[in-house]
Every structure is written in C-alpha cells, then in structure tokens.
Structure 1
C-alpha cells in the first residue's frame, strides 16, 4: 500500500474554494505572505510528517510556475531537508485543476499499486502515528468483501483546532467533524479517476463507500490564523495545560510551542516519583 499526502502550496489554479489571495497572483506570491505560509508549512505540516512512526510515505506538493524562482528554491530545499528527496514530489504547474493534475501524477508514478491518497493543507498536521494507522485501515478496506466498488474513502473525524495568534501557536480545542477534509484518505488503485480534490467531502457518506475511524483520540490538527479561510474562532472550550499535555502523545513536536503544558508534564512526573 502506497501512502501519499497531497498538498497545494500557493497553487494558482482551480482547486476548490478560493481565498482573495488565491485568486490574485499579486497577493498569492506576496513575499510577506509567502514567508508566513512557508513558516507554517515547516513548523506544522512538514514537522508532523517528519515525526511519523512509519516513515514509508510520499508527499506530493503542488505549486505554481508563477512562483518567483527564489521561493521555488526555498520550498524545494525545505522539503528535501525535512523529508528527504526520495519522499518528496514537488510539482510546479501552470494554471489548471489541482485535482486533475495530482490524479494524473499519481496514476503515472504509482502505476500497478494500491494508493491511499491523503489531503493535507499546507498549514495542517497529522498525528505522529497517522501513517501507521492509515496503513492498517487501508489494508482492511482494500480486502473488504462486502464493498463492490474498487475504492473507499477513509475519514478521521476527531482532532484538534490549532489557534495561531500573532504568529504563535497559542491554543487547542477539540474537533469532531465526520468526513472532514482533514486527514481524508481515498484508498483505490493508482489509476482511479477519482481524487480527494475532485470530491465534495461533505457528501462522501451519502455518495461513496467509506469507513469512519472513531477511536477516542485525535488524528489531526486544523490550523486557524489570519492567512487562511477558516471560520473557526476561539471559544471557551479551549484545552487547559494538562489537556494540551495529553496531546503531546500524538503531536510530540507541540512541546516546543506550549512550554507551560510541558512544565505541567514535568511537574506531574516529579510528583509521581516523589
């Protein structure tokens, strides 16, 4: 089973909902914006992939031929440094459909294999054991004798919203959304005509064979900040330091961003050992 994460990074083209920046190359490739996007991509998305307990995966990143050359180099170097050249497929393409571009690349690159294609936005993250968990569920649905279709969507509805304020990772709150785009996986032969970016994720349960994975633990982080299109807002249900410390089991790299929660863990261990 090939596991492939698919990310759009400042791609100028047809790829679903468009923010104001995504519809205007001048805004999309503004240096201040690119700097912040690249920082979130490094600190959140790539770090979560580099932390995987199962390192056997590929990461396809789709960007634009319109991106200024120095930023293309920075993006390439960052991806190669953090994941290794072998695991990265960096695509610079002219304006077009993101879903069709990625679908064709997957069909060609992984011909003859079953593939679990995973949506991953450039400021979101998956848990450190996501690849290992997805591999188990993907193998299960591939051999499912009661599903006559040659594909299945796998949904991981439980995760966290990650609030970023003034450029800092500031808070977490629990999130449970069936068929959310976060961690959504399509398990199918590589030459399938389907692709997660070509599918309305809100209608997957009604229109497609699917599996909902619902153990009482998180599988993803959904970042919200001033540069994305999220409608999520901080609420009174944010996690306290002890609860944030509990998230470290799945997102160990968060320790560096939540020192008070990290101190809570250290104090608890010290108390437990006397």
Structure 2
C-alpha cells in the first residue's frame, strides 16, 4: 500500500481555492505572499512529514510553471532537502486542473498498485503516526466484507486548529468536522479515475463508500492565519493546559513553540 501526500503550492489553475490570489497571477506569485507560504510550509507541513513513525511514503507537490524561477528553486530544494529525492516529487504545470495533473502523475507513477492518496495543504500538518494509522485502515478497507466498490474514502474528523500570528503559532483549538478535507484519503488503484482534489469532500458520506475514523485523538493540524487561501475562520474550543501533552506527542515539532502546559515559548 503506497501512501501518497498531495500538496498544491501556489498552483494557478482550477484547484478549489476561494481567495483573490487564486484568480490573479500577480497576487498569487507576489514575493511577500510566496515568502509567507514557504515559511509556513517549512514551519508546519514538512516537519510533520519528517516526524512520521512510518517513513515509507511519497510527497507530490504541484505548483505552477508561472512561478518565478527563484521560488521554483527554493520550493524544490526545500522539499528534497527535507524528505530526500526518493520521497519528494515536485512538479510544475501550466494552467489547468490540479486534480487532473495529480491524477495523471499517480497513474504514470503507480499504475494499478493500491494507493492511499492524501490531501495535504501547504500550511497544514498530519500527526506523527498518520502514515502508519492510515496504512492500517487502508489495508483493512481493501479486505472489508461486503465491499463492492474499487475505491474508498477514509476521513479523520478530529484534529486541531493552529492559530498563527506574525508567522508564529500562538494557540491550539479542538476541531471535529465530519469529512473534512484535512487528512482525507482516497484508497484506490493509482490509475483510478478519482482523485481527492476532484471530489466534494462535504458530500463524500452521501455519494461515496467511506470510513470515518473517530478515535478520540487528533490526526491533523489546520493552520489559521492571514494568508489562508480558503474561507477558514476561528470557531473552535481552545485547548486546556492538560490537553497539550497529547498535542505535543502527536505533533512533536510544536514543542519548539509551546511548553507542556501550553505556554508559548519565546521565538528562537
């Protein structure tokens, strides 16, 4: 079972973004914005992948051919230096469908091998055991009794919202959203016609075979900051000090920002 994380990084084209930058290349590739996105990617997303207890996965990063060359170089080097060339695949494509490009790459790379494709935005994170847990559930899904479809979605509704101010994490909040796109996985052959970016995640439970993992522990971080490319907003319950032990266990990189009781640490 191949586990493949899929990230859109400042991709110009059809991708589901709802911000003004999504439709304006000048805004999308503004140096201030790209610098901020790269900082968050390096601060949150990549450390969560580097911390995986099961390191056997691939990270596909899709960006745009319109991105300025210096930022293409920075993005490619950042991903490959963090994860290594075996696990990192950074690709630049012209305007088009993000899901379509990712689907083509999956088919070419993995063929009909069973895969778990995971949505991972460039400012979000997964728990340190996410790959191991997902692989177990994905293999069980393939062997489920009464299974009639050749694919299945797996949803992890429980996680945290990570509030960021001035480029630094400041607080954590509980979050539980059924069929959220965070940590959402599609279990199917690599050359399957479906792709998680080409699916309305809010209606997965109604329209598709699916499994929801409702363990009482977190599986993802959703970052909330002024550079969000979606309509994310603050609405969740802030963690109590005693909750931080669980948070730091599953997201160890947060130990650089929070103490065991949730106290913010001074920036290095």
Q: What is the TM-score when the length of structure 2 is the normalising length? A: 0.95
| 3-state DSSP of counterpart to 2:180 | coil
Shift of 1:157: 0.3
Partner of 1:188: 188
Matched, 1:97 2:97: yes
What are the residue-to-residue correspondences of 1:234-245 with 2, within 5 Å?
Answer: 237-245=237-245
Q: CA RMSD in A?
A: 1.4
Determine whether 1:233 maps to 2:234. Answer: yes
**Structure 2 unaligned runs (5+)?**
none
1:30-49 pair list within 5 angstroms: 30-49=30-49
Aligned length: 263
CA positional deviation for 1:18:
2.8
**Separation (CA, whole Å) in 1 of partners of 2:156 and 2:260:** 29
Q: Deviations over 1:52-88 (max 9, x none)?
A: 0000000000000000000000001100111001101
Unpaired segments ≥5 residues, structure 1: 265-274
Contact (CA 8 Å) 1:156, 1:179: kept in 2 or not? yes
Q: CA deviation at 1:10?
A: 0.3
Deviation at 1:262, TM superposition (A): 6.8
Structure with larger Rg: 1
Runs of 4+ residues deviating >3 angstroms:
259-264
1:67-125 Cα distance to aligned partner (Å, 9 max, x none): 00000000011001110011011110000000011001101100131010000000000
Counterpart CA distance in 1 for 2:115 and 2:260 is 40
- Cα distance in 2 between the residues matched to 1:21 and 1:221: 23
Once the two structures are superposed, what CA deviation does each residue of 1:174-214 show, in whole Å capped at 9, x if it has no partner?
00101000000000011110000110000000000000001
Shift of 1:5: 0.2
Q: SS in structure 2 opposite 1:18?
A: coil
CA–CA separation in structure 2 for the residues paired with 1:260 and 1:155: 29
What is the CA–CA distance in structure 2 between the aligned matches of 1:262 and 1:172, rounded to whole Å? 9
Cα distance in 2, alignment partners of residues 231 and 199 from structure 1: 19
SS in 2 for 1:43: helix
Residue 222 (1) aligns with residue 222 (2): yes
Q: Aligned in 2, Cα 1:34/1:156: closer, same or farther, shift over 3 Å?
A: same
TM-score computed with the length of structure 1 as normaliser: 0.93
- Measured after TM superposition, the shift of residue 23 of structure 1 is 1.0
* Offset at residue 166 of structure 1 (A): 1.9
The answer as to whether partners of 1:224 and 1:230 remain within 8 angstroms in 2 is no
Question: Residue 27 of structure 1 aligns with which residue?
Answer: 27
Does residue 68 (structure 1) correspond to residue 68 (structure 2)? The answer is: yes
Q: Is the 8 A contact 2:18 2:231 kept in 1?
A: no
Does the aligned pair in 2 maintain the 1:255–1:261 contact within 8 Å?
A: no
